[in-house]
Amino acid sequence: MVTPIISPDSNSPQTTPSPFYIVGIGASAGGLEALERFFDNMPANNGMAFVVVQHLSPDYRSMMVEILSKRTPMKVIEATEGIEVKPNQIYLIPRNKNMTIYHRNLYLSDKDQTRGLNLPIDIFFHSLAQDLGPYAVGIVLSGTGSDGTRGIRAIKELEGMVMVQENSSAKFDGMPNSAIATGLADYILPPDKMPTELCKFIQHPYVALKSEVDKFTDDDTLGKIMAILRTETGVDFSGYKINSVQRRIQRRMSINQLEQAKDYVRFLQRSQQEVQLLYKELLIGVTKFFRDPEAFESLKRIVLPRIIQEKSPYDSIRIWVPACSTGEEAYSIAMMFAEYLEAQDQLLNVKIFATDIDKNAISYASSGLYPESIVADVSMERLQHFFIKKENKYQVNTRLRQMVIFARHNLLTDPPFAKMDLVSCRNLLIYIKPEVQERLLTFFHFSLKHQGFLFLGNSESIGENTYLFSSLDNHHRIYQYKAGYKLPLPSTTRDHPSQSIPRERRNDLLMLHENKPSYPSYPNSQVLSQKRLAEMILTSLSERYIPTCIIVNEENEVVHTLGPVEEFLRVPRGEMNFNLSRMLQVEYASVLRTAIHNVLQHKKELIYDFSSLDIRENKSKIIKSHVFPLFPETIEPQLIAITFESQENFNIEAYKKVDVNADFTQHVNDLEKELQYTRENLQAAIEELETSNEELQATNEELLAANEELQSTNEELQSVNEELVTVNSEYQYKIEELVDVNNDINNLLSGSHVGILFLDADLRIKRFTPNITNELYLMEFDIGRPIQHISHNLKYDNFISEIKMVIRKQEKYEREIESKSNRWYTVRLMPYLTTENQVQGVMITLSDITEQRKERQSQLFLAAIAAALDDAIIGQNLDGLIISWNQAASKIFGYAPDDVLNQPIDILVPHELRKENDALSKKAFSGEITKQFNTVRLGRNGHLVSVKIDILPIADENKIYIGCSWIIRAPQTQLLTTQKNNSEADHQLAYQLLENSVAAVLVVSPEGVISFVNQQAEEIFEKPKEALIDSHYEQLPWVVSEGTDDSLEKSADVSELLNDPQPFYNQHRLLLCQNKKILHLRVNGAPLLDKNGKIYSIIFSLVECAEKKP
């Protein structure tokens, strides 16, 4: 098949072979039924190739080739090494193998037994995506576990198409649910609906033509789509590469079977669901743990030591992972840092800020729950160290989860993070326009600390922005912040934020703005000025009339101050902290901390006189402090006010009488005693806890070891269970086939008239048909008994001995045996052979040939009568060959039967008369009779014989002419001598043959009077010979039909032969017996002609038949 492709550089079309789609189908437990339903509905000439990857047992031969071949006319092949994939064919993975595809050829490899869980579907899907790109289709059908989930991510990343079985139609929904959870499925359908949609998809113009022509020549159309997306999702995709956006829009149009972009715009305007699907299509987040392992190893070797060596104990390491998708990259970096810090025995606080624009992806990443297919990317050591196995999934443990903070963040519009040691942004820039890429790189430069590091994807680079970063490993895209370049803070302000920020994001920003200490802005400037004036008045009056006041919240944090507080508060060193205990001067801290606690607990005001004393150069300053709740109890959160009032020129002597410091000292002593008591109790509790902790640690280690063993065992059992389910499905299918075959055989055997008996190798009865019980005395309960124990009705003395000979010599025996009931059978004894040609018993068949034997004897007697006649009777078939030859013919022409049988009849005809002879034969073949024709014929020695010929046509039972009979008479003078010598002997021979025939024989005159009957005729007509002779043949008790025994009819056999003197065979007649029983007879009749060609007698043979002839 060729498809015209328009070259970007030429207006003339050219032809090139069009690549075809290859459909990878992954199935496990319950997949057989799904595959049958899928291929039942898939047209044979669909132009696609199908590769089926199943979880197969390594110990059992798969029957999938045979099973699927019955469901589709397409060729089904088990894949072999290097086989080329062709359209309209199905390829199956062999057992105990993994399979990949390269340049449309399949390659096999042994399963990796060291990896534990094997994921053949993911392996094939990944190679399919790499080899076919947009021509790859991945289908996930019924199965347990999550195999196929990683593979469909790879297919979607390279613009392939994904279908998943609807979970309600799957026998096992583990694999479908895992694939659906990724949000990457283009279609979610039952298997019987998939073929129709798949064929529609590949036949869509955008998909079938794969044209590079711009489908959006109207910029307004693409702009409308962008506007709809921005309005509904708050994301502006104008920074993304146009070609990438167009291809993904076209893919959605193909799935929805829309050919015009303007129609798709209308569809988006009507369907909120399609807007979300297109949004997800454009935000394809394809990632995995430790993607590009060599790049991560380089990062570990180059970057981690440089970051950590500059840190002091308990310092923080700050990392930003923008566009983190579902979190695998962020967790990978977290694991790498955790392992490195453990190896270096260092305690550092690692904080990884992982952000993405997709809230569903952030939610998924925050859950930290991943399918078990991650075992292909994460080593067993890391799985055991950082994950917890939950059924068929892996949960990130608490330690790793606390290292990562996930948040929604639009990299193109929201401000960047700052003071980062490392920024890891992999495989995002490839989807962004060059000018936007440069802008993002400036963001990353701003975010990094001096000497910070940038980690990009393998297909990305910093381009010409070498003034921002220096390269540490160009191959693995590791860069370092370049100092000396003063970069301004990037602006992220947009003209219309309300149109681009999602509604929920706008609410968040409003809340942040309202929490700021400054007042919100008002549109009315007069109101704003009044507000500011009131604030200025309040501040001025508070400085003059309100005592110094500190407002704290329930957490003991300072939230507001009034008046000069410098005397009572101090700014702590190091990190800024608003805790009152750290900010108060030391002489106030203890008392006020206790006071605040009491006020919060009892909701009452406390007054401290002389709570602190300052004596400077005989000057006294007494402080009076009030501590009270600021608002009523109903207001939350609760705020506490602490006021300070000073009294100067106080009498120092009087003050000394009131020894506040003594009270304070006593309070401190009491607290120290209580603290000491608490410490002792705490130490005892710690020792007890340490002992318990050691015991629990030992128990925990044992449980972990046991849990690991159980997890490993569970994985193995799950894998084995999937394989057994697949094998069981195939066997169930085979059993159903065998049941059908068994029913067919049973019906065939019971419906046939052949008795069959099966014996095993020990000559014990295995099975038999009902017909054999007529002569062998068998019952159902005789199965399993030796054949020697069974009585029979056959006159067959060597029956058992010949059965044994069959086993020993492996030969077949066939005999015609008479039974004691005077019936004849063909008995066949044959070895019972297996498919491996091994003898495992004997098969015995009994075919009733009684009727055939009687008919054969009757025909022999008729032939004997014909042989005894003076007239030569020669049979000729339609090919002109002699097929019968009697003794009279030998007397006339001198040929023995062996000399002329199967020879052309022309050997008896002179050359000049052969055309005449052919004409006579043709008349006979058309049903015309020739009588008393005088001519000459050739004898053996070439002498001419004058003869008189009658030619009678011969027809079968369906009245179709199959030949003719030549009745030839020679002049009496030529045969007189021979007749005198043989006449007496011939008549005697004929009499003996007729008398001893097993058929009833009657000789009737042309007038219908019976002149001869044999013994068998006496038995059939139930009359003695004397009563039959001289009676009329037509007056015998013939019956019209069964059930009408009172309606006797007159036979027309005699009159028919007189009118048409040619033999007839197998005519069915009904005879009424004396006991009113109807007897079915098969009648043959032949006329006997004298020398003048006139009928002088008619001979009838009658044979009883078992049933009425149809």
Q: Active-site positions?
A: 28, 55, 147
Q: Are 354 and 406 in contact (CB under 8 A)?
A: yes
Residue for token pair 């009687």: 854
- State the virtual CA torsion across 266, 272, 273, 279 in degrees, nearest 10: 90
Signed CA dihedral, 724, 52, 370, 185: sign only: negative
Backbone angle region of 556, left / alpha / beta, with phi > 0 → left and psi within -120 to 50 → alpha: left
d(CA 508, CA 226): 24
Signed CA dihedral, 1075, 1077, 1082, 1084: sign only: positive
Phi, psi (rounded to 5 degrees) for 790: -100, 130
Closest CA to 774 of 753, 746, 751: 753
Q: Are 101 and 131 in contact (CB under 8 A)?
A: yes
Phi, psi (rounded to 5 degrees) for 236: -100, 115
The two three-digit tokens of residue 879, written as one number: 């090919």
- State the virtual CA torsion across 457, 459, 465, 469 in degrees, nearest 10: 30
Residue 558's DSSP bridge partners are 552
Residue 843's DSSP bridge partners are 758, 830
Q: Are 99 and 118 in contact (CB under 8 A)?
A: no
Residue for token pair 């079968």: 956
Neighbours of 983 (CB within 10 A): 12
d(CA 352, CA 337): 10
Bond preceding residue 305 cis, omega within 30 of 0: no
d(CA 890, CA 885): 8
Classify 939 as helix, strand or coil: coil
Strand ranges of the sheet holding 558-562, from the earlier edge strand across to the other edge: 558-562, 548-552, 640-648, 619-629, 606-616
N-term to C-term CA, the chain: 58
Closest CA to 1012 of 1026, 1027, 1029, 987: 1029
Q: Max Cα separation, the chain? A: 192
State the Cα angle at 209 between 207 and 211, rounded to 5°: 100
Instruction: Give the type of residue at 407.
Output: A
Closest CA to 818 of 791, 794, 790, 849: 794
Closest CA to 425 of 353, 487, 503: 353
Closest CA to 75 of 49, 56, 53, 97: 49
Instruction: Give the type of residue at 854.
Output: K
Q: What is the 3-state secondary structure (H, E, C) of 365-413?
A: HHHCEEEHHHHHCCCHHHHHHHEEEECCEEEECHHHHHCEEEEECCCCC
The two three-digit tokens of residue 1067, written as one number: 């005519």
> For 849, which DSSP code?
-
Phi, psi (rounded to 5 degrees) for 443: -60, -45
User: How does strand 548-552 pair with strand 640-648?
Assistant: antiparallel
Instruction: Give the type of residue at 62.
Output: S
**Interior/surface letters 263-294, b for 16+ CB within 10 angstroms, e for the rest:** ebbebbeeeeebbebbbbbbbbbbbbbbbbee
The two three-digit tokens of residue 410, written as one number: 């639009």
